[in-house]
Amino acid sequence: MSITLKNVSKIYKTGDIETIALKNINLEIEDGEFVVILGPSGSGKSTLLNVISGLDTPTTGEIYFNDIKISDYNEEKLTKFRREYLGFIFQQYNLLQNLSVRENVEIGSAVGKNPLGIDEVLKSVSMYEERNKYPYQLSGGQQQRVSIARSIAKNPKILFCDEPTGALDEKNGKQILNIIQVMNNNLKTTTVVITHNTNIAYMADRIIKMNSGGIVEVIENQDKRKASEILWE
């Protein structure tokens, strides 16, 4: 699924004070593309992800997924669209503590229009043997892998990742990046990763650099690397 943004801006108002978080963003992401949005804290990259994915609404501008203009959707239609077509990976695992690993993943699978097999997904993230354990019995890296399994079980058309390795060490971080990369390669899932880590950007087809709420540079990556080849910061 492709993504198109036309003159998208986001302005937050607090009383009489306006803060411009995004300024006239024009961007096209192709179906199956792996894009990294790079920038320092406060550059607008997380706001951009939230607006693209329908977690927030633009103040002005238009957003299309294929030919579907989601910027015209009300909250009910946006929620249904996100549930059926989009996957999310955040730093926070957001697992349900009273459910097993398998039951957490089943929640993701249940809302998909064309879900993947749960056992297959658990094996792909190396969590099949822990399927009957509960989140409190798992390490941080394992919990993140379960969170990813829940996101990909519904077979999303687009996967949004906001600092997916931010709380992980190198070993676990690279495992997570490898899972994301394999899904993009094998299932052709359009993938958008937000990060401040310039090394992760080498995994992408294109790198979108942001600062002060705007896109300052778009780079076609001629040196695409595997997750295992990424230098760690």
Which of the four pLDDT bands, split at 50, 70 and 90, describes residue 232?
confident
Say what the pLDDT of residue 208 is.
94
Output the CATH code of domain 3-229.
Answer: 3.40.50.300
What band does 34 get if pLDDT is binned at 50, 70 and 90?
A: very high
Distance CA 231, CA 223 (A): 14
The rounded mean pLDDT for the chain is 89
pLDDT, residue 148, reads: 85
- Where is pLDDT greater, at 22 or 231? 22
Closest C-alpha to 86, from 1, 158, 188: 158
| CB-CB contact of 93 with 61 (8 Å) | no
Q: Give the pLDDT score at 141.
A: 83
Round to whole Å and give the CA distance between 178 and 184.
10
**Pair 146, 38: CB distance under 8 Å:** no
How far is 17 from 24, CA to CA, in rounded Å? 19
**Stretch 193-211: mean pLDDT:** 91
- Per-residue confidence at 2, pLDDT binned at 50, 70, 90? very high
Supply the pLDDT for residue 190.
Answer: 94
- Give me the phi and psi of 207, to 5 degrees please: -115, 125
Instruction: Summarize pLDDT for 155-182 with one digit per residue, the tens.
Output: 899 999 988 877 778 887 888 888 889 8
**Listed range (43-52, 116-125, 132-141, 213-222) with the worst mean pLDDT:** 116-125
> So what's the pLDDT on residue 23?
94
**Residue percentage of the chain with pLDDT more than 70:** 99
Nearest residue to 52 (alpha-carbon basis) of 84, 28, 20, 17: 28
* pLDDT tens string 99-118: 999 999 988 887 777 788 88
Yes or no: say if 151 and 159 are a contact pair by the CB < 8 Å rule. yes
Query: Mean pLDDT across the stretch 181-195?
Result: 90
**Helices (H), ranges, 111-207:** 118-124, 140-153, 170-187
Phi-psi region of 7 (alpha: psi -120 to 50; beta: other; left: phi over 0): left
Strands 86-89 and 158-162, by their bridges, are parallel
Q: Is the predicted pLDDT of residue 120 greater than 90, yes or no?
A: no
Average pLDDT over residues 64-87: 90
Higher-confidence position of 111 and 206: 206
Going by pLDDT thresholds of 50, 70 and 90, the confidence category of residue 233 is low
- If one counts every other C-beta atom within 10 angstroms of the C-beta of residue 128, the result is 16
Question: In Å, what is the CA distance from 174 to each residue of 46, 68, 148, 203?
Answer: 21, 34, 13, 11
